[in-house]
Amino acid sequence: MSPYRLYLLVCGLGSFAARTAFTLNLVYQATVVGLSPLQLVLVGTVMEGVCFVAQVPTGVIADVVSRRLSVIVGYLLMGAGLLVWGLFPSFTAILVANVIWSIGAVCVDGAEEAWAADEIEPDRVTSAFVRGGQLAQAGSLLGILAAVGLASFALAVPIVAGGLVTVALGVLLMVLMKEERWAPSATTHGSWRSMRRQVVTGGRAVRGSALLAGIVAGTFFAGLSSEGFDRLSQPFLLPMLGDRPIELVFGGLAMIAALGSIVATGMLGRRLDTTHPRRVGRLLAAVNAVTAAGMIAFGLSGQWWVAVPLYLLVRLLRDTADPIMNVWLVAATGPESRATVFSIQAQADALGQIAGGPPVGVVAQRRSLGAGLSVAGLFLLPAVALFALAARRSQPVRADVVVEPLA
């Protein structure tokens, strides 16, 4: 199989397996395993912490040893983690499974795209990434349907099935994946010293720019907010279900959210004026302001017909915020530090999630799930202010900056 076709297969099949496993995962943890609100949040905090710590060493392995090896090991570890997750319904087992899965996810992250960029013909790389994104969306939708169907047997079945498919993908890559156009460099490109220089360059760019500092600081507060909503929103809806079938309800909500995200991102890509970063920043601040209000109202809601629209609104707005942020960062950075600034921004988000999860979990444990969700919404308010202030510092895009359309 050609690298082009193999990459498309990985995008579609990997997304299918992940969505099959995770669509009803939180419902499984809350009902089958019986995790408390604090335990639910701690599971996510462990995942974010492991990903944060493992990001640099796994990146060095991919650059210095082998991207192919990093991707294969990553899928095998993710599959193994999901199998432990679904087969052993206990808090300790899920924590162990999270560590295994997170290391695998970090091994794949970045290495997969780097392998594709090296092995696929240069004139087909862009096409591969676009088509791969489309197939990932299709695989995600099919994974939701598979999760709903398999959950009719037991809520653990979709998680185990997703783990088996992920392991099978890793084994398939051992047979089909080649690495013929790349070899470890004798230079320091992938070394710790080179990475340190890049981090220093990116750090100076952030410290020397009030705009970038505001974006990174705002991202930290957005991260403080996101972990609580991610981990507690579905368990919060559970008591409101009544006699409604759990798998059909949450599967349907996941499908609506996924389709809404596809439509919203497509509309955004056609209408967002990327040559005016100040407007982009203001739009991001407005999106986060409505998201914060939606989270707070969601936590205070007690009726199904009020909570569900707010839940979908918050999910849609959060998905929409990601491409807006990407456009803003591209416009605000130079090519010499852009990749590193993106990495710093991602690390700020991860640190925020690590720091914000436990306090929200404690509030949810001692007061109520709704109170924890409302606190998560309050955490987002400083991000709104920081993004608004950063937007005032934004200047028109320089002539040498080319921003690709989102769609």
CB neighbour list of residue 204: distance below 8 Å, 6 or more residues apart: 337
Other CB atoms closer than 10 Å to residue 181's CB: what's the count? Answer: 12
- Domains within the chain, CATH numbers bracketed: 3-177 (1.20.1250.20), 194-393 (1.20.1250.20)
Q: What is the largest CA-CA distance in the chain?
A: 63
Other CB atoms closer than 10 Å to residue 277's CB: what's the count? Answer: 25
Q: Are 139 and 166 in contact (CB under 8 A)?
A: no
Q: Which residues of 110-120 are buried (b: 16+ CB within 10 A; e: fewer)?
A: bbbbbbbbbbb
Distances (CA, A) of 325 to 24, 136, 257, 267: 28, 21, 20, 16
Angle separating helix axes 192-207 and 338-366, nearest 10 degrees: 80
Q: Which residues of 209-223 are buried (b: 16+ CB within 10 A; e: fewer)?
A: bebbbbbbbbbbbbb
Q: Smallest Cα–Cα separation from 206: which of 338, 354, 327?
A: 338
What's the rounded Cα separation, in Å, for the pair 272 and 208?
A: 28
Q: Are 34 and 43 in contact (CB under 8 A)?
A: no
Question: Measured on CA atoms in the order 141, 143, 147, 149, is the torsion positive or negative?
Answer: positive
The reported pTM is 0.79
- pLDDT, one tens digit for every residue, the chain (407 residues): 788 899 999 999 999 999 999 999 999 999 999 999 999 999 988 988 888 887 767 666 766 777 888 899 999 999 999 999 999 999 999 999 999 999 999 888 777 877 887 788 877 777 787 788 778 888 989 999 999 999 999 999 999 999 999 999 999 999 998 877 766 655 444 455 555 655 565 566 566 677 778 888 899 999 989 888 988 998 999 888 877 788 888 888 888 988 887 787 777 766 666 567 778 888 889 999 999 999 999 999 888 889 999 999 998 888 888 778 877 776 776 655 565 666 677 778 888 988 888 899 999 999 999 999 999 999 999 999 999 998 887 665 544 444 444 44
What's the rounded Cα separation, in Å, for the pair 288 and 407?
A: 21
Tokens of 297: 């109202």
